[in-house]
Amino acid sequence: MGPRMSMPDTKPANPSFSSGPCAKRPGWDIAALRTDALGRSHRSSLGKARLKEAIELTRDILGVPDSHLIGIVPASDTGAYEMAMWTLLGARPVTALAWESFGQGWVTDAVKQLKLDAEIVTADYGSLPDLSRIDMKTDILFTWNGTTSGVRVPNGDWIRDDREGLTLCDATSAAFAQDLPFEKLDVVTYSWQKVLGGEAQHGILILGPRAVERLETHQPSWPLPKIFRLTKGGKLISGIFQGETINTPSMLCNEDYIDALKWGQSLGGLEGLKARANENAGTLSAWVDRTAWVDHLAADPASRSNTSVCLKIVDPKVTAMSEDDQRAFQKKLEKRLAAEDAAYDIGAYRDAPPGLRIWCGATVETKDISLLTEWLDWAFGEEVASL
């Protein structure tokens, strides 16, 4: 390290860099939300129309084909993905992929809760498993973008069009920032609080025709709670995918989601949202390339996330520490930045290696990423000097 830096003069306009719930869109104001559906039944004609509008805007921006159904379901991305697992699995063998904590969570559900005899394919944080070895006769569980590792699958080329099993894709930190090849994805789930900066506790469940066929021909061997039931009398409950939710949603959160979707439309839709995330991640990556004390956790640039960017501290003074001490150093860095209102919530996920995790999704301004890097250099210099 050279001489210690002076504290930067300018702070990010929005220091919220959490990977969920994520920053609200630029210019967000609760006064901009429609309120006529608040206090009304979600089953009223108005309530169903507002929920259906959210579904239609979702289809438009993400480019979801007409062959796929879109439903609003409870319990965020976790609820959506578990709903898919509990209702669809058990008909054929399962392959579960995991290279970070959330993928590992689906492994735990498949093996310990559903007690399936699953093939587990794993990789360490920062890497992808060998996708070429995946058995396409099995149902495949995977995350598109590993939120806690900063590693994503670069594309869907590894998924065969003539696959026999279903692909169940947790896309929660990929949707609206990365291309999702829906023709290769039988199930896609995500939550509102990621790239669009919406509110938590609501999930989106997207089902392709092969998943619907499975639902209507397969009866799971385990009991299903009401909140997971997608069929009645062996037929899909189609109303779920037209705004008739299984349980009572927050109409306020739905209005907030619609507001975020319309903001996305104003940017040019998916391409505009992707461009913002790419610019943010590129700005952060350029700083990493010229900074000696930090590096990407994701080793391969082709699989680095453009949303949840995970970094490791590689300065020798820090890497010589025990893992516990490295994590303590990380927390001191976090606290120093938060105390200055320069950056909030940028520590690595609790199960991930020590380091930093900085959200670069579309609601973040590139100027704020650039300013953040100055504060990171300053805070690191202060903490290293205190060792």
- Give the percent of the chain with pLDDT over 70: 99
Secondary structure class of 268 (helix, strand, coil):
coil
Q: What is the pLDDT of residues 177-205, one digit of tens each?
A: 999 999 999 999 999 999 999 999 999 99
d(CA 177, CA 179): 7
CA torsion through residues 94, 97, 102, 104, sign: positive
* Average pLDDT over every residue of 231-241: 97
Q: Which domains does the chain have, with CATH numbers?
A: 31-266 (3.40.640.10), 270-385 (3.90.1150.10)
Q: Is the pLDDT of residue 1 over 60?
A: no
303-325: average pLDDT? 98
d(CA 27, CA 11) in angstroms, rounded, equals 17
Q: Tell me the pTM.
A: 0.97
- Residue 3 has what pLDDT? 66
pLDDT score at 2: 55
pLDDT at residue 192, as a whole number = 98
- Rounded mean pLDDT of 73-87? 98
Dihedral in degrees, nearest 10, Cα atoms 230, 260, 37, 48 = -30
Average pLDDT score over the chain: 97
- Coil, helix or strand at residue 89: coil
pLDDT of residue 4: 79
For 332, 366, 368, 374, 375, the CA distances from 371, given in Å and listed in that order, are 20, 9, 5, 5, 7
Backbone angles phi, psi at 187, to 5 degrees: -135, 135
pLDDT tens column, 82-111: 999 999 999 999 999 999 999 999 999 999
Nearest alpha carbon to residue 326 among 288, 351, 355, 292? 355
- Identify which of 194, 134, 192 has the alpha carbon closest to the alpha carbon of residue 167: 134
Residues β-bridged to residue 132: none
